[in-house]
A = this chain, B = another copy of it.
Amino acid sequence: EDLKKQKTMQTLDPYSSDPERHPVLRINNLKPFNAEPPPEILSDSFITPSAFFFKRNHLPVPQVDPATYLLQVEGLPGGLLTLSLEELKTRFPKHTVTATLQCAGNRRSEMNAVKQVKGLNWGIAAISNATWSGARLRDVLLAAGYGPDVARRAGHVQFEGLDKDVTGTTYGASIPLNKAVSEEGDVLLAYEMNGADLPADHGYPVRVVVPGVVGARNVKWLGKIIVSADESSSHWQQNDYKGFSPGTDWDTVNFKSAPAIQELPVQSAITAPADGAVVDRSSEELTVKGYAWSGGGREVVRVDVSLDGGKTWQVAQIRSSEKGQAPEGTPPTGRAWAWKLWEITAPLPPGAKELKIVCKAVDNSYNMQPDTVAPIWNLRGVLSNAWHRVNVKIREDEREE
């Protein structure tokens, strides 16, 4: 594998046509490109600007000509349906959804701190929120002949990307059929992100957006849709992106024993202050900011913040309507696809030399985050959603100096 890669790079670098990226991004891997923004950028705005949205590529970014782009839809009674980009945009109503995407490996670095795992060392910012527009997958499947008969024989919708490795293997994933065809599922074949054409790193010209579901199933540079009795046979569906017990290691793991990650569990993290920050005693109070989100359309209903390592807790304020960018009111039950930004301003506790800041979120199924990392540690370092902890020093003012 490594030898092959080396040889290919000598002849032609498949990453040479990758797009330019914003220099503020923190790069976890260059080829394929994987990068996250500085955490404090996330809490600047409800909608993450596309340039700062975390990038998680598995393969080189393919160059796709929109004029010749064709999307294929297979496995339905209508036979093979082929759609040009123009047809996708004009034959189906344009639908807009604000949805947070999160990488399965977000916060993996905290698992690495417990015991080494296999995977990119993501911080807390492999999560971002954007507005996506496109055709509903449901509408396209109906146009290709989807009906109740299909639901009896098929259970999954597979997606193939146009991104390929040197052997020609494309990125692939699948989602349950009921999510794909549900009116409330809001699955999109998106051609716009934040009101503009999809950027190259986010799947230009078309990607799948599966709200509430792990990033890995939101296939970019979409080439083919296959309705099937089976899940995707791809490496990423079968032998990756699954959760295991902390006692399972690479010698004992049986990838067939765990389900492919789809909906993600409740999550939150502190974006400011940063771990290790120093606060002056003279500032008297401290503002803590962060994000919270849950998978499956479950709405975050509360975020608890502790300044003493989890002994006492305060309820944070949800910043849901700031800057007029957030939707008004509450989303319909089960369709809360977007994160919540939160903050809390608290007086510095008298006498304290250090603050052990902790946050944990609760969703509307009242699921909570686990307290600690070790008991949810898993060999791939996915699903890292223990309480997020940030330690801050308080510096007493020393006028004499």
Contacts and interface: CB of A to CB of B under 8 A. Distances in A.
A366 B301 contact: no
A383 B262 CA distance: 25
A114 to B, nearest CB: 12
Nearest to A313: B247
A365 B295 contact: yes
Interface string A283-315: 000000000000110000110100000101111
Interface in A351-401: 360, 362, 364-372, 375-376, 383, 385
A276 interface: no
Interface stretch (A36-44, A63-71, A164-172, A263-271): A263-271
B365 A264 contact: yes
A14 interface: no
7 contacts: A178-B184, A247-B304, A248-B315, A262-B364, A265-B368, A296-B296, A310-B375
Contact of A371 (B245, B264, B362, B372): B372
Contact of A245 (B176, B262, B304, B366): B304
A247 B178 contact: no
Given A246-B313, A313-B246, A313-B247, A301 B259 contact: yes
A79 interface: no
A22 to B, nearest CB: 31
Interface of A: 176, 178-179, 184, 243, 245-248, 258-259, 261-266, 295-296, 301-302, 304, 310, 312-315, 332-334, 360, 362, 364-372, 375-376, 383, 385
Given A176-B333, A247-B312, 12 more contacts: A245-B314, A247-B315, A261-B366, A263-B365, A264-B366, A266-B367, A313-B375, A365-B367, A368-B370, A368-B385, A370-B371, A371-B372
Assembly stoichiometry (copies): 2
Contacts of A246: 304, 312-313
B360 A375 contact: yes
A302 B376 CA distance: 12
Given A248-B315, A304-B246, A367 B262 contact: no
A312 to B, nearest CB: 6
A383 B313 CA distance: 17
Nearest to A104: B366
A365 to B, nearest CB: 4
A311 to B, nearest CB: 8
A23 B216 CA distance: 54
Nearest to A334: B178
Contact of A243 (B245, B362, B372): B362
Nearest to A377: B313
A372 to B, nearest CB: 6
A331 B264 CA distance: 20
Contacts of A262: 364-365
Nearest to A306: B375
B364 A259 contact: yes
